[in-house]
Structure 1
Amino acid sequence: MTRVDVYLIQAFSISGQGGNLAGVVLQADMLTDSQKQSIAKQVGVSETAFVSQSDSADFQLSFFTPTVEVDFCGHATLSAFWLLRHLQCIPAGHYKQETKAGILAVEITPNGDVLMNQSLPVWLAEFSAEEIAPMLGVQPALIAQAGLPIQAVSTGLVDIIVPIPFGFLDSLVVDMEAMSHFCQQQHCVGFHVFELNPPESFYTASCRNFAPAVGIPEESATGSSSGALACYLNRHFGYLQAVFEQGRAMNMPSCLLTQLSLEGGVLKQVQVGGEGVFNKRISIYVD
């Protein structure tokens, strides 16, 4: 049996509280995919990141949920680079990570926050409220009130972006089995449901993310989906910066910062960032 140390980091926390737990394994070069999957299952958080050497970037990262490998994970990326900085393995600065979603830039600010680039948005299928509403326990007319499309968008992973009117986010009743089946059929990771907040709110939108098809009933902070939502709000409202709240319904409030850059009116960069905080270190044993 091989002992593997796993660091648990709360990504996108707020003043050291809340956030979304991710596992991080450093120096993972000798681990097989089967071992990584076993570790992620034993750790039991939504994603665990494995950091290895790379020939084409500063680091190679792979990401595993308790059940499958995924191409990219925002909160696990933040956790990995926050940990590397926290352990003084690297200084603040600009880095590149090799992932299955491509080679992506990561910035560690002098105060230790992490800003990560995501892929430019890929706009995919739109869905009707009649298809989506039953899986969220609401009436189709409620979703229609938002006046925005339900659309699959990817900035690294495919999520279905679902708008609902303000005040209804916390009352959703999710049919996990139906949603899992639907996501498998549509080749997407999950649903990212959001409500726009009043203009005076610090948060642009409040969000909930459901990904039962990959073993995550609900997640308290989803970096990849936040990048997709930022692009969605830019397309419909022109926002270049947005701050998202997530995890409220789980009593794990999280804050996700997003920033988009244009050149000649064309979207050129998608960034998502936030803070991290150390939770604990555990040991896992694998064959």
Structure 2
Amino acid sequence: MVSPPVAVVNACTRDGQGGSPTAVVIDDATLTDNDRHATVRRTGTSHTAFIDASTPDTPAVRFFTSVGELTNCGHGTIAAQAVLLHRSGATEHHGRQRTAGRTFATTAIRRHNGVEAWFDQGVIALADHADPTGGGIIAALGLQRTDIAADVRVASPGTPRLLVPLRDHPTLLSMRPDFDQLATECRRLGYLGCFTYALSPTLRTAAARMFAPAVGVNEDIANANSVGCLAAHLLDTSGTGEIEVHQGDTLRRPSSISASATHTGSGIVARIGGVVDLGPPIVPG
């Protein structure tokens, strides 16, 4: 295999700093999935987006971690759209992306601090009465039932994950999950992972941590799809569907993701955005 060129960008930065290092590859039809896995391991990033640019009006994007392919990836979509805008030389683009059989709207705009990118997440399914205690999820997270501020919910924009509200910010920061146990429980119950969060008093900002060892990512610096899920949950329970979420502080990579959820005839949908620092444009393959 001839290694394809790889752009490594920082997705969902906060105040011009941090963000999640994300690899973006212009895909080659000759690559096999084994080749793509090798590329992920070579880049050393938690996620890699592979863009099929053969249909430039609606590029197809696939996402891989070190252990497999993901159905979708929010911050990977934001990174991919920023790289596509950079390659085009334009200052703004409104387009569409195909991932996992779904085509959705995207926007990318050059800003002074990078590229601001947004995408439509689609319908988010919310399920009540999730009880993670019986399955050992709470114990695997290193939490007690008294650490949980409200009902735990299952949310799925295509892949289900748990939304776990915590009583305060210090509890969030002090978490020390047992990743092996958490991976076992999430695989058994069919969850991508656990999105733990602490809301501010205004409900418009939150701090969060996302744990997904079942798919090879012990802790995400930024998890955009889960932020969209949180926005949908907040709209459903409080009527306020706008949120800005800070992640990555415990990993010394501050990140910020914004989401806005709305009711539609098909269900609750969300629009998700973040700023991408392109950094050095290309890392040789």
Deviations 1:82-128 (A, max 9, x none): 11112335552321111116212111235331111112112247124
Q: Match of 1:118?
A: 121
Alpha-carbon separation, structure 1, partners of 2:89 and 2:37: 25
Deviations 1:8-67 (A, max 9, x none): 110110233111111000143332222111111221211100000466961000000011
Q: Match of 1:132?
A: 137
Q: TM-score with structure 2 length normalisation?
A: 0.90
User: Out of 130, 141, 149, which is 2:146 matched to?
Assistant: 141
Alpha-carbon separation, structure 2, partners of 1:76 and 1:27: 14
**SS at 1:282 equivalent:** coil
Q: Does 1:35 align with 2:35?
A: yes
Mark the runs of 5 or more structure 1 residues left unpaired by the alignment.
Answer: none
CA contact (8 A) 1:57 1:98 kept: no
RMSD of aligned alpha carbons:
2.2
Mark the runs of 5 or more structure 2 residues left unpaired by the alignment.
Answer: none
**SS at 2:269 equivalent:** strand
How many pairs are equivalent?
278
Q: Match of 1:162?
A: 164
**SS at 2:123 equivalent:** coil
Alpha-carbon separation, structure 2, partners of 1:268 and 1:214: 26
Counterpart mapping for 1:230-269 below 5 A: 230-263=231-264, 267=267, 269=269
User: AA paired with 2:22?
Assistant: A
Q: Match of 1:5?
A: 5
Deviations 1:198-242 (A, max 9, x none): 33x9x6110000111111111111111111111111112111211
CA contact (8 A) 2:257 2:273 kept: yes
Alpha-carbon separation, structure 2, partners of 1:137 and 1:189: 18
Counterpart mapping for 1:64-103 below 5 A: 64-88=64-88, 92-100=92-100, 102-103=102-103
CA contact (8 A) 1:29 1:53 kept: no
Quickly say closer, same or farther: Cα 1:14–1:101, change in 2 above 3 A: farther
Q: Match of 2:221?
A: 220
User: AA paired with 1:172?
Assistant: M
Deviation at residue 158 of structure 1 after TM alignment: 1.9
Quickly say closer, same or farther: Cα 1:43–1:124, change in 2 above 3 A: farther
Q: TM-score with structure 1 length normalisation?
A: 0.89
Deviations 1:158-193 (A, max 9, x none): 211111111310011101011000111112211100
CA contact (8 A) 1:151 1:162 kept: yes
Alpha-carbon separation, structure 1, partners of 2:241 and 2:43: 36
Alpha-carbon separation, structure 2, partners of 1:273 and 1:234: 17
CA contact (8 A) 2:9 2:277 kept: yes
**SS at 1:2 equivalent:** coil
Q: Match of 1:183?
A: 186
Alpha-carbon separation, structure 1, partners of 2:63 and 2:106: 16
User: Out of 191, 197, 200, which is 2:200 matched to?
Assistant: 197
Alpha-carbon separation, structure 2, partners of 1:232 and 1:57: 33
Quickly say closer, same or farther: Cα 1:240–1:164, change in 2 above 3 A: same
Alpha-carbon separation, structure 1, partners of 2:260 and 2:45: 27
CA contact (8 A) 1:118 1:156 kept: no
